[in-house]
Structure formats: structure tokens, C-alpha cells
Chain A
Amino acid sequence: MRGRIQLKPLETDIRFTHKALVEKCKSGHSSSQYELYELYVDAMYNIGRRMLNSKEDAEDIVQESFVSAFKNLNSFNYESTFGAWLKRIVINKSINHLKKKQLPVVPMEVHEFHLSEDSPEEKVDAMDIKKVKVGIGLLPPGYKQIINLYLIEGYDHIEIGEVLGISTSTSKSQYHRAKKKLVEIINAL
């Protein structure tokens, strides 16, 4: 009884979501693997689609990510949720895939001096999510990833820096530049 009382606050921690399932998967239980897959596959597939802009590439990357996650599940120690851990694998694999294809993952132009230009707040007529989706779709190569990572995946600039292999300050300036472009596009729609 005492054990259960002590464990309770830990078990309710968000990081331990689907812990029982994850533990079963760690011991190679294949039906648990499928259960976990079903829970996360759509979310991961959508991340892949956003990052890669291709149905086939997204499918390949998500498959690879699940295989890699199940094989390396023992290194998952509940430092984050399972979903966040898996999402990081999908994002890392997507970025590597883009780099292999030599597609830009960050805007190419020089960006350091653009930060001050952002200060006057631009009015955005963008409360319509549909418009935002179209706007993101129209962003030039290299802008899309940083917008996706910050706005939709909810990553902060430290995480984006790690994923894209750039510094935190570069991530900030690149993001502001990309956001400016997005606002321009949405306003022109």
C-alpha cells in the first residue's frame, strides 16, 4: 500500500503517459507496440507531411522513426513524454532527409540585421487558420520549417537551434524573418 501512495504523484506526471504500454513495448510485446503506434501515428504523420511536403517521404520517415523508436526504447527514460520523444525522432529524421536532398532548412539570405525591422507590430488579418495554412504553404523554401517548428510543433528557440544545428540567436532572427514573410503573404491573400 505504502508503495502505491509514494508512486501516485509520479504516475500522474504527464511524462508517464502510456507508461504501462511503453514498458510492455520495452520487453518486445508486439501487440503493445501496435497499440502505441495507433495512438501516435497520425500525429507523427502530420508532422512528417508538414516538414517534408510529400506523402511518400512522410510515410517513409514516420516508418523509420517508429522502427528506430521501438529498437531504442530502452534509452527512453521518461525525461519527456513518449510523444515528445517520438516527435523529436520524426523531426530529426525529417531535417536529415531535407539536408540529404540539399533542400534549405533555414532561409538563405543574410538575416542578422533584420531584427530591428520587426519592432513595429504588423497587423495580421490571420485569425482564420485556413488562411494561415495556405500562407505557410506559399512560404519560400527554408522558411517553412522554422515556422512549423515554432508555431505548430511548439518548439522554443533552444530546441529549434538543436534540431537545425544553428545558434539560439540565429533561430530567433530566422524565425522573425520567416514570420514577417508569412504575415506579408497572408495579408496579400
Chain B
Amino acid sequence: MDNFEKHIRENASEFDEHKADRSKMWAKISQELEVQEPKVIPLWKSPMLRIAASLLLLLGLAGFIGKQVFGSSVETQYASKELLDIDMHYKSLVSYQVKLVQNNPNLSNEDKTEFLSFMDELDAEYEQLRIEMQNNLDNERVLEAIVSNYKQRIELIENLLKQINNSKLNDDDYGYTL
């Protein structure tokens, strides 16, 4: 630092030549400070409001949880009743037709086991859908999937039976032409 710099730094106070308009500036500062401060704090400083807010929060939470528990239980009851009806209907249909296939003398053991393995696959799928149903994930879609699972089984059985009948018919026709 040279002499010039030292001289200025030592006499820096001489550069303060202006006087601030104190009252005018303070008026604006205090106005800003007043506007900002009381906004948030006093609400939470009042114990009554604090209790009220806590109560409101508790009520809200209780209501929400209650609705979740109660509402969902009614829904699952309703859904499982519907499911039970569908289940009963299709189960009897499927088991009847499975019996038909099993008792059919025109089917080889190989065909029967192949058919039953298909049925097992669909059974497994059905079990998974039931678990899904318990988890309450979009009931309607799971229900639809269960129905389509049953329909596939019935279609499978019907196709099989049609095949058996067709082959019978073919045999008869063949016999006729001869």
C-alpha cells in the first residue's frame, strides 16, 4: 500500500459527507417491519388456537382413518358376497364338466392329463386373483379377471368335448360312406 492509499484510508471518514433523512427512512423501515411480523406468529402463540388446531387435526385424522377402515370393510364384504355367488356358479359348472371329461371313455389318459395340467394352471391363476382381491386392489378389475379365468376353463372344457363329439361324428360319417 502506497502513501496515497494510506492517506485515503486514514481519512475515509471525510468521505461521509451526506446526512440521511432519518425520520423519512425510519418511517418506511418500521412500516415494513410491522407488516411482516404479526402475520404468522400470534396465531400460534395463543394456547386456545393451538388446542383448537390440534383438535381439528385429530378429528380430521380420526375421520380419515375411520372412513378407510369402515368404508373398505363394507366394500370388501359386498365384493366378497358377489364373488362368492360367482364362485359358486362357476365352480359347480367347472367341476361338473371336469367330471365329464374325466369319465369320458373316448379320451386317452394323455389327453386327460394335458387337459388337467391346463386346468391346474388356471387354478393357480385363480388363487393369485383371490389374493389380489383380498388386498383390495381395484376390486372391479380383479373380479372381471376372475370371471374371465372361469370362462377360459369352461371354454377349454367345451372345446375338448366338442373335439370328442366331432371325432365321433367323423367316425360315423366315415362308416356311412363305406
Interface residues in chain A, defined as those with a beta carbon under 8 Å from any beta carbon in chain B: 28, 30, 33-34, 37-38, 41-46, 49-50, 58-59, 62-63, 66-67, 70-71, 121, 124, 126-127, 129, 132-133, 150-154, 179, 183
Which residues of A have CB within 8 Å of B21? 59
Interface residues in chain B, defined as those with a beta carbon under 8 Å from any beta carbon in chain A: 2-5, 7-9, 11-12, 14-22, 24-26, 28-30, 32-33, 36-37
Tell which of A28, A38, A183 touches B4, judged by Cβ atoms closer than 8 Å.
Answer: A183
| Cα of A33 to Cα of B25 in the assembled complex, Å | 13
Q: Are B14 and A45 touching (Cβ within 8 A)?
A: no
Q: Are B26 and A45 touching (Cβ within 8 A)?
A: no
Q: Are A46 and B18 touching (Cβ within 8 A)?
A: yes
CB distance from A33 to the nearest CB of B (A): 7
CB distance from A21 to the nearest CB of B (A): 16
| Cα of A33 to Cα of B26 in the assembled complex, Å | 10
B32's closest neighbor in chain A, by CB? A67
| Cα of A92 to Cα of B32 in the assembled complex, Å | 20
Q: Are B29 and A132 touching (Cβ within 8 A)?
A: no
Q: Are A41 and B4 touching (Cβ within 8 A)?
A: no
Q: Are B16 and A132 touching (Cβ within 8 A)?
A: no
Which residues of A have CB within 8 Å of B8? 129, 132, 151-152
Q: Are A62 and B20 touching (Cβ within 8 A)?
A: yes
Q: Are B16 and A46 touching (Cβ within 8 A)?
A: yes
Which residues of B have CB within 8 Å of A34? 26, 30
The answer to whether A129 and B9 touch (CB under 8 A), given A63-B32, A124-B4, is: no
Q: Are A152 and B37 touching (Cβ within 8 A)?
A: no
Tell which of B15, B24, B36 touches A46, judged by Cβ atoms closer than 8 Å.
Answer: B15
| Cα of A13 to Cα of B29 in the assembled complex, Å | 30
Most buried by A among B5, B21, B25, B26: B25
Which residues of B have CB within 8 Å of A153? 12
B11's closest neighbor in chain A, by CB? A129
A-B contact pairs, 22 of them (CB 8 A): A28-B37, A37-B22, A41-B20, A42-B19, A44-B20, A45-B20, A50-B15, A59-B24, A62-B20, A62-B25, A67-B29, A67-B33, A71-B33, A71-B36, A126-B4, A129-B8, A129-B15, A133-B15, A151-B5, A152-B9, A152-B12, A183-B4
| Cα of A67 to Cα of B32 in the assembled complex, Å | 7
| Cα of A101 to Cα of B166 in the assembled complex, Å | 92
| Cα of A153 to Cα of B112 in the assembled complex, Å | 99
